[in-house]
DNA sequence: TTCTATTTGTGCGTATGTATT
DNA sequence: CAATACATACGCACAAATAGA
């Protein structure tokens, strides 16, 4: 089979874009299911009657979309994905939320610091300017795959030493209970999406250009007192959020 | 000022990536604020001491991130953004949700069709296989900027002719009230993110490679009867969702 | 209006580096 | 080790859009 006839020059749509669309359609149609890989660039170049660079532009675009993943020396593989579902409610908890969707869930503390709250953090936590907070940088994995990268701030006065407790337990819920917060509620969640930055790429094991879902969330104790503000990045191709239902 | 010294070859990080990071930092630092534009590719190429293609790779990456926007014949502009906030609750309504954030909000019906529900649509709307549904394709704009692209399904038996009503009013809420549904509730919302497809690019006025937030949502009448299932795409750089708060 | 300079967009050919098999 | 295949970068050419003379 040749695709030569399917791409046209001088039609207002770049060749690489036409080819990317065609390959995407081919993948959806199961064209390459036998190998799970896209044919080598040289083969595709011949099939489409274009230079290998043009194929590379097309595959790069598909790589950005997370549809394929090029591996040096091996070939370009088709990505298969299924998303974890992450429910968001008043009682949102990470581990419980993922629940039975993964065999094992781990939390790693990357670093912690005691610092002065920025204007943004102070606003969310309803703290006076200049108040000290404890910041945790953590990664959570489900079945060995990185699922989230969170930056979390706690009021330092109330949660002195929470970093050590989190490091031991790997769980915010357990850490908070050590401080007498047996229950807490999700007050507000903001959701946006953007491209992964270098730090996201590293800690979430992403390909550059991948998409991350970003949540900004505030948890309060049962009295409505803010206890935790988090900015969390999730790999968009591994996670979906659910509200209600 | 020259940036030659800032990029290094053969150090494990591609030149174009180093350059992209540097330009991103320059933008954050307000380096190009006077013009609101990045210097021409040829100038950047000379500044960094690389080929124009290398600069183009860097700018393409930044374009994917939505940080810059290249325009043929004009130059590469730095994007300024502020997101519309879209609250998600039991009483989620598009127009009310955007509310005072925009001066005027319009809804356009692109097309409508009467068709047999797919397995997925039937499942969401709790319909028997083979049941007919009405599908609307619509775009919503706020202050002239495209804010959402929705595909919506209604049970055909109950909402015969809803396409015409929506076309006139541009509002789902008003259209439903014409059919005796004075109130409705958001039962469930799923949120994911992915790269824009050609259709999204066209109808949402996006740049190829942009990110879209995708919601799958079910609305029911006060009795809990499913009345509307929608898949809606939002430009991720123009929208954020809020739950609670 | 027309022409020209500027600037981005597309495509090809080539060379070299690097990782996998 | 060699062969294969992806990764990066350069140089060249021309197309297309824009802005300004």
Q: Share the mean pLDDT of chain A.
A: 89
Contacts of B240 in chain A (CB under 8 A): 190-192
**Considering CB atoms only, which of B83, B242, B244 is closest to A186?**
B244
Residue A3: pLDDT band (50, 70, 90) is: very low
**Residue B24 CB: number of other CB atoms within 10 A?**
18
pLDDT of residue A4: 43
Q: Share the mean pLDDT of chain B.
A: 90
Contacts of A240 in chain B (CB under 8 A): 190-192
Q: Which nucleotide is nearest to B52 (CA to C1')?
A: D10
Side by side, the strands of the sheet bearing B75-78 are B37-38, B75-78, B68-71
Whether the predicted pLDDT of A219 surpasses 70: yes
pLDDT of residue B2: 42
Map tokens 């929208």 to a residue: B239
CA A75 to C1' D1, in angstroms, rounded, equals: 22
How far apart CA B132 and CA A163 sit, in angstroms, is 56
Please give the C-alpha separations between residue A181 and each of A87, A174, A175, A177, B181, in angstroms, as whole numbers. 22, 9, 9, 5, 44
Question: Which residue did the predictor score with more confidence, A208 or B244?
Answer: B244
Contacts of A236 in chain B (CB under 8 A): 192-194, 211
- Distance between A168 CA and the closest CA of chain B, angstroms: 31
Of A24-33, B167-176, B216-225, the range with the lowest mean pLDDT is: A24-33
Averaged pLDDT, B12-26: 88
Whether the predicted pLDDT of B233 surpasses 90: yes
Please give the C-alpha separations between residue B18 and each of A60, B13, B30, B54, in angstroms, as whole numbers. 18, 7, 19, 10
pLDDT of residue B10: 58
**Contacts of residue B221, Cβ cutoff 8 Å, sequence gap at least 6:** B181, B183, B184, B185, B227
Beta strands in B81-225 (DSSP E): 84-88, 105-116, 132-142, 145-155, 185-195, 211-220
CB contact under 8 A, A191 and B241: yes
A124-169 pLDDT, tens digit per residue, is 999 999 999 999 999 999 888 899 999 999 999 999 999 999 999 9
How far apart CA B33 and CA A34 sit, in angstroms, is 52
Residue A230: pLDDT band (50, 70, 90) is: very high
Whether the predicted pLDDT of A5 surpasses 90: no
B182-226 pLDDT, tens digit per residue, is 999 999 999 999 888 778 888 888 877 789 999 999 999 999 999
Extract the tokens encoding B220. Answer: 């029911």
**Residue B199 CB: number of other CB atoms within 10 A?**
11
pLDDT of residue B6: 66
pLDDT of residue A104: 86
pLDDT of residue A10: 57
CA A10 to C1' C3, in angstroms, rounded, equals: 25
pLDDT of residue A217: 97
pLDDT of residue A6: 64
B90-135 pLDDT, tens digit per residue, is 998 888 878 788 888 889 999 999 999 999 999 999 999 999 999 9
Please give the C-alpha separations between residue B43 and each of B8, B46, B50, B52, B72, in angstroms, as whole numbers. 19, 5, 10, 9, 16
Task: Please state the pTM of the whole predicted model.
Answer: 0.88
pLDDT of residue B103: 86
User: Which window residues (62-121, chain A) lie with Cβ within 7 Å of strand C?
Assistant: 71-74
Extract the tokens encoding A190. Answer: 């903001």
Percentage of residues of chain A with pLDDT beyond 70: 95
pLDDT of residue B215: 97
Whether the predicted pLDDT of B76 surpasses 70: yes
Chain B segment 164-193 residues within 8 A of A by beta carbon are 186-193
pLDDT of residue A188: 97
**Considering CB atoms only, which of A186, A190, A193 is closest to B193?**
A193
CB contact under 8 A, A193 and B211: yes
CB contact under 8 A, B188 and A243: yes
CB contact under 8 A, A242 and B191: yes
Extract the tokens encoding B193. Answer: 């993110």
CB contact under 8 A, A211 and B211: yes
pLDDT of residue B196: 83
CB contact under 8 A, A83 and B241: no
Q: Which nucleotide is nearest to A72 (CA to C1')?
A: D6
Contacts of A193 in chain B (CB under 8 A): 193, 211, 213, 236
Q: Which nucleotide is nearest to A12 (CA to C1')?
A: D16
CA–centroid distance for A31 within its chain: 29
CA B28 to C1' D3, in angstroms, rounded, equals: 46
pLDDT of residue B16: 92
Averaged pLDDT, B226-242: 95
């Amino acid at each position: 089979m040749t695709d030569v006839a399917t791409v046209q020059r001088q039609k207002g749509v770049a060749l690489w874009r036409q080819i990317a669309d065609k390959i995407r359609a081919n993948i959806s149609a199961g064209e390459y299911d036998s190998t799970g890989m896209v044919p080598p660039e040289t083969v595709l170049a011949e099939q489409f009657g274009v230079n290998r660079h043009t194929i590379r532009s097309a595959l790069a675009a598909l790589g950005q979309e997370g549809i394929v993943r090029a591996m040096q020396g091996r070939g370009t593989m088709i990505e298969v994905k299924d998303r974890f579902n992450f429910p968001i409610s008043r009682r949102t908890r990470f581990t419980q939320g993922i629940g039975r969707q993964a065999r094992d869930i781990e939390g790693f503390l990357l670093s912690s610091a005691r610092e002065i709250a920025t204007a943004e953090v102070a606003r969310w936590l309803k703290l006076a300017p200049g108040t000290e907070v404890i910041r945790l940088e953590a990664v959570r994995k489900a079945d060995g795959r990185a699922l989230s990268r969170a930056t979390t701030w706690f009021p330092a006065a109330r949660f002195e030493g929470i970093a050590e407790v989190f490091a031991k337990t790997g769980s915010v819920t357990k850490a908070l209970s050590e401080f007498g917060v047996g229950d807490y509620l999700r007050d507000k969640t903001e959701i946006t999406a953007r491209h992964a930055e270098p730090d996201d790429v590293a800690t979430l094991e992403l390909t550059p250009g991948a998409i991350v879902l970003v949540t900004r969330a505030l948890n309060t104790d049962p009295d409505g007192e803010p206890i935790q503000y988090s900015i969390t990045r999730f790999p968009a191709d591994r996670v979906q959020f659910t509200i209600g239902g």
